[in-house]
Amino acid sequence: MSNDHTIEKLLTEYQSTLEQYKRVTSTFSKETLFEYNEILLSAHSCAIEGNSFSVNDTKELKEHGLNLKLQNKSMLEAYEILDHFKAFEYLFTNLELPLTEQLLVDTHKLLTNNTIQYTKGYAPGEYTKSRMAAGDTIFPDHETSIANVPALMEQTQAALEKKTVHPIEIAAKFHKYFIYLHPFPDGNGRLGRLLSNFILAKAGHPYVIIEAKQKEEYINALKFSHKHNDLNVISSFFIQTSINRMKQEMHQTSQNPVQNNSQKVANNKSGGMKFIF
């Protein structure tokens, strides 16, 4: 499905797209981009796990909190999104924090604070006490996996510091390894996607937001990478997903380009934009 040559081609396209993308994002405030990504990542990451909140629902919840009138939604789903906001804000306002086991546990506590006690009977931040399975996947022995968590975090941090591997490849490989360690009774997918994006943000790269409609493709990439020990597959998926989002957002902004000062003055002198009713 993938090889080193394909990765090199994708990374070349990624870097070219990134240069254009940065020019577009520079026209937005940091606060606007932060909230935009917070809502998108929270909505799609939770939806992959079955949450029924749409992006618009998530935006409304962000604005109104629990004052939002829920229609055909559960309080559990609302709390899952609200906890995701808190975990997101913790990570992405503290990009200087190194990747450690403590960071992992602290983020999981925030991510599952109002849900895991009721859904799994565990405390937030508590590792699983039994072997994990999801869908048609049985994960490796949980005690061995939990014992390997510190090494994964430390080696990922070291890879970021060495800067010999592209950050998006580090994020993708970390994601696959973490998902198959599966150390918590719940929240592993959401936590893995948060931390992969934390890795990217630490290196100054845009988020990889896997949309709910990509769920099957995403899971298949993880499974193939694990079964065939081919990390290029999940890396390719991450890179292509990022390229597609960057292009999509650039297309959206091109529909409403920013005017230069002379254009703005000319419009003002002519009485402004013409509207048709």
Q: Is the pLDDT of residue 134 over 60?
A: yes
Query: Is 35 buried (19+), middle (13-18) or exposed (0-12) by CB count in 10 A?
Result: middle
Could you tell me if 189 and 229 are in contact, meaning their C-beta atoms sit under 8 angstroms apart? Answer: no
Domain membership of residue 249 as a residue range: 26-253
Q: Is residue 152 part of a domain?
A: yes
Place of tokens 């006690």: 117
Tens-place pLDDT, residues 224-243: 999 999 999 999 999 999 99
Rounded to whole angstroms, the Cα distance separating 101 from 109 reads 12
CA distances from 277 to 109, 274 (A): 52, 10
Q: Look at the chain and report how many structural domains it folds into.
A: 1
Tens-place pLDDT, residues 58-89: 999 999 998 888 888 999 999 999 999 999 99
Q: Is residue 266 part of a domain?
A: no
Rounded to whole angstroms, the Cα distance separating 110 from 194 reads 12
Ranges 91-100, 106-115, 217-226, 262-271: which has the least confidence: 262-271
Rounded to whole angstroms, the Cα distance separating 222 from 233 reads 8
Cβ neighbours of residue 145 closer than 8 Å, sequence gap 6 or more: 139, 180, 181, 182, 183
Q: Is residue 13 part of a domain?
A: no
Q: Is residue 273 part of a domain?
A: no
| Confidence label for 1 from pLDDT (cuts 50, 70 and 90) | very low
pLDDT of residue 239: 98
Q: Is residue 247 part of a domain?
A: yes
pTM of the predicted protein model: 0.93
Rounded to whole angstroms, the Cα distance separating 219 from 192 reads 13
CATH number at residue 246: 1.10.3290.10
* Mean pLDDT value of segment 234-259: 91
Q: Is residue 260 part of a domain?
A: no
Could you tell me if 103 and 122 are in contact, meaning their C-beta atoms sit under 8 angstroms apart? Answer: no
* Mean pLDDT value of segment 167-194: 98
Q: Is residue 16 part of a domain?
A: no
Q: Is residue 190 part of a domain?
A: yes
pLDDT of residue 2: 45
